[in-house]
Structure 1
C-alpha cells in the first residue's frame, strides 16, 4: 500500500507532473473568489464549458473527482481534451486510499474504529482519548504504531516529536508505547497545556496501575516525556538542533531545586508540570551564535540516536526536519506528515503570507528541495497552487453527493468580491473570516456582514439584477472549483515526490504511505525513511 518507486520512476513521474501541471496554471493559480471579477468561466475551453455547465453536483463528484474506474454515464459526449485532463490528473497522483490488509494486519478502518461512538476510538486506550478529538485519536494511534516499528528496526528507544502541540502523540509514544520522548513546540501555551495533560494522565495511571489483568489498551510505561519550548530555525545547523535536545536531557538528569539554578518555564507551567517532566525554554539560533560542535570523542550517551517525527509539521518545518535527518548522524529514521504547503518558502516567494520574516538561504527552500525537480522546466508551484493542495478532496466530493446547501458559499463570496473590487480595487482578495452558516443567509445579509469586515459601508448599494445574474451561476462556480480541486492531489504528489527525490539524492530510500483515512485526515501521507546502517 506504500509508494516506493525506483529512482528512475521518481524522476520520470516528476517530469510528467511538471509537464501536465504547467498548461493548467490558469486553473491551479486562480482564486475562486475572483470567479466573476476575472471571468474565470470563459478561461475554460469552449467545449468544456458546454458539457460541464449543466452537470448536477452528483455528476461533478462522480465524473470529475471520483478516481474509480467504474462505468461512467455522460449526459453528453465529452471532448477528448477534458477526458485526458481528468484521466491524467488521477493517474499521476499518488493513491490516497489505503487498502485494508487481509487478516487485519492493517487495523480496522475508521468506520469500524468509531462505529460504537463517533467521538471515541475503540482501538485507542481510553486514557489517551481524554482531550483528544476523533481525528487526532485516529492519527496518533496509526502514526504512533509506525514510529514504534521504526524504533524497533533501528534499535532506538528515543523519539523526538517536533511541533508537538498539546502533546497527544507524545503521550501515546511515551506512556503507551514505552519510548523515551522529547517534544519540541514553539508555543509556550501549548507546552503548558501538554504538561498539564501529562500530569492528568499520571494521576489516572496511579489509579489504574495497580489493577490486575489489565487489557492491552493500558499503557506499558510510566516514563514521562520531556518538553522543550523552542522554535526549530530552518537556517540553523543540525548541531544547533541537537543543542535544543541536549538542554532537555540535562534538565531531566539534574532537575533544578529551590536552591539551585532555575530554568525559565512557560507562563503558568509551574503549577501544571507532572513529576519528572520539565519544560525547557530554548531557542535554535543561527549557527554563528548557538552551535555545539559534536566530535567523535564526545560520549555517545550525550546525544543518543533517535527517530524523528512530525505530525502535520507546518510549512518549512517538514523540509527542515528532512534536512536534519539527512545531515545529523544521530537521526536514524523519520516519519514526516506535512501540511500547509503554501507556507513553504520558494525562490519566487521566499516569505509567503503567514510566515515570520527571516533571511532564507536560497539553496534551502521548502520547495523544491531536490536538484532534479529544481532543474525541470515548469516545476514552479504558486502559493495558490500549493494552498489548493491542502484542500480536502474527499470532503468536497461528499458535499457534492449530498447536494449540501453550503456549496453556495463560494458563489456568495465570489459575488461579494465583485462589489468589493468595484468599490475599492486595493481591497481585492481581502480576508473575510468565516461567516457562520453563510449559506443559510440571504445574499444581502451575507454582503452586509462581509462588507463591514473589510471596512466598507455595510449599506453599499448592490445592483439586484447583477446579484441575481451571479447567483444563477452557482453551478458554474462549483464546476470550476472542482476542476481546480482535481489538480490538488497532483500538486501534493509533486511536492512530496520532490522530497523523496531529495532523500534519494542524499543516499536514502524512502516510502510514502497513505497512513490515515483521507475522509478523517485529508493530509494523510507519511514519508518514511531509514538510514542504511553503517558497518
Structure 2
C-alpha cells in the first residue's frame, strides 16, 4: 500500500538495497543450479557439473539416506558449530534468507497491526470446505481475510485478481466479505469453466462455508450478492490498464474514481513482477497483495532489454520499485 515519505523509510530502503545486493552476490554463481530442472541432473549430469566441488565431495562420502538426514538435522539447527562443507553451505544460505522481523519483512501479526493502524479491521476467516483441495482451502482461508482487511484499509472500490484461473480467492472475497472482485486470466476456456463452477458454489454457499470467529465456526448468512464476482480475458503485463477493464466489466463504476486492490494467488513467472510494476506505475492501484511462484518460468528477456534475471539486478529493481512506492507516494 502506498504510504508517506520519511527519513525512516529512506533508511529502510537503504537496508533493503544492501540486503538485496548481498543476496544477488550469493545467488549469481548458483544461477545455473537455480534455473535447472530436476530431470537435467540425469540428462545433463548436473551433479558433476553444477554442485560446488567441496560440497559434492563431502556428500559423495555419505549414503543417500545419511546425506538427507544430515541435511535436515543441520537445517533444523540440531548441530552447533558444525564445520562440515554441508554445514558451512547451509549457514551461508541461511545468512542470505529474507527473514521475518527484520524491519521490512514482517510477520502476519505485525501485518494485522499495520492494517489496523491504517484504519482497517481484521476480518474473521472464511473456511470453504468444498470445491477446493485442502491446500487451496487453507490458502484461500488465510489470504482472503488479509486481502479483505487491506481492501477496507486502502478504501478500494474493487479487488482485481491477476491470473486467477478458477477464481478460488474471489469466491471468498465476494460471497464471504461482499467485495466486488474481477478475475483476469488469459485462458478464456478456463474462465468460462470457472464462471459456471462459481454459479454452483453460490447456490451452496451457506452450506459449504463457515465463518471462524474467536476460534469457533459459525454459519454464513444465506443472503449474499451473487453478482460481485466477474471475469475478464486478458494477458496481464505491466502495461495492462486494469482500471479500464474494471470499468468495462462493472459499468456501474463508470463514473467512479476507481481505486483497485491488485492481488494474486500463485502468480506464475512474469505475472508476479508485472503486478508489482502495475502497482508502481498506475495510480488507480491503491494496494497490492501478491503471492508469487514459479521462479523458473520468469522470462530472461525483460521488456526487450535482454536483462538476465539477477545478473543485471532485475529482481532487485522490481522489489525496490515496489518497496519504494510502498514507503513513498508516487
- Normalised-by-shorter TM-score class: 0.7 to 0.9
Deviation at 1:34, TM superposition (A): 4.6
Question: Which of 86, 90, 97 is the equivalent residue of 1:93?
Answer: 97
The alpha-carbon distance between structure 1 residues 7 and 83, as it changes in their structure 2 partners (threshold 3 A), is: same
Counterpart in the other structure of 1:245: 246
RMSD in angstroms over aligned alpha carbons? Answer: 3.9
Deviation at 1:41, TM superposition (A): 4.3
Q: Is 1:346 the counterpart of 2:303 in the alignment?
A: no
Counterpart in the other structure of 2:323: 504
- Paired residues for 1:61-460 under 5 Å: 61-64=68-71, 66-71=74-79, 78-79=84-85, 82-95=86-99, 124-125=126-127, 128-205=128-205, 216-219=218-221, 222-224=224-226, 225-234=228-237, 237-238=239-240, 240-250=241-251, 253=252, 301-347=255-301, 360-362=303-305, 367=309, 374=312
Which runs of 5 or more structure 2 residues have no equivalent in the other structure? 1-8, 114-124, 210-215
Q: Is the 8 A contact 1:165 1:194 kept in 2?
A: yes
- Point out which structure has higher relative CO (alpha carbons under 8 A, 6+ apart): 1
Which runs of 5 or more structure 1 residues have no equivalent in the other structure? 106-122, 254-298, 351-359, 380-494, 510-530
Query: Aligned partners of 1:374, 1:158: CA distance in 2, in Å?
Result: 36
| Greater per-residue strand proportion | 2
Deviations 1:340-382 (A, max 9, x none): 22222234xx5xxxxxxxxx4439x7946xxxx846xxx7xxx
Deviation at 1:315, TM superposition (A): 1.6
Query: Aligned partners of 2:55, 2:257: CA distance in 1, in Å?
Result: 59
Deviation at 1:54, TM superposition (A): 3.5
Q: Is the 8 A contact 2:185 2:236 kept in 1?
A: no
Instruction: Please give the TM-score of this superposition, normalised by the length of structure 1.
Output: 0.47
Counterpart in the other structure of 2:27: 21
Deviation at 1:138, TM superposition (A): 0.8
Counterpart in the other structure of 2:116: none
Deviations 1:106-125 (A, max 9, x none): xxxxxxxxxxxxxxxxx744
How many equivalent pairs are there? Answer: 296
Matched residue SS, 2:178: coil
The alpha-carbon distance between structure 1 residues 339 and 217, as it changes in their structure 2 partners (threshold 3 A), is: farther
Q: Is 1:55 the counterpart of 2:62 in the alignment?
A: yes
Instruction: Please give the TM-score of this superposition, normalised by the length of structure 2.
Output: 0.73
Q: Is the 8 A contact 1:159 1:180 kept in 2?
A: yes
The alpha-carbon distance between structure 1 residues 31 and 204, as it changes in their structure 2 partners (threshold 3 A), is: closer
Deviations 1:402-443 (A, max 9, x none): xxxxxxxxxxxxxxxxxxxxxxxxxxxxxxxxxxxxxxxxxx
Q: Is the 8 A contact 2:126 2:172 kept in 1?
A: no
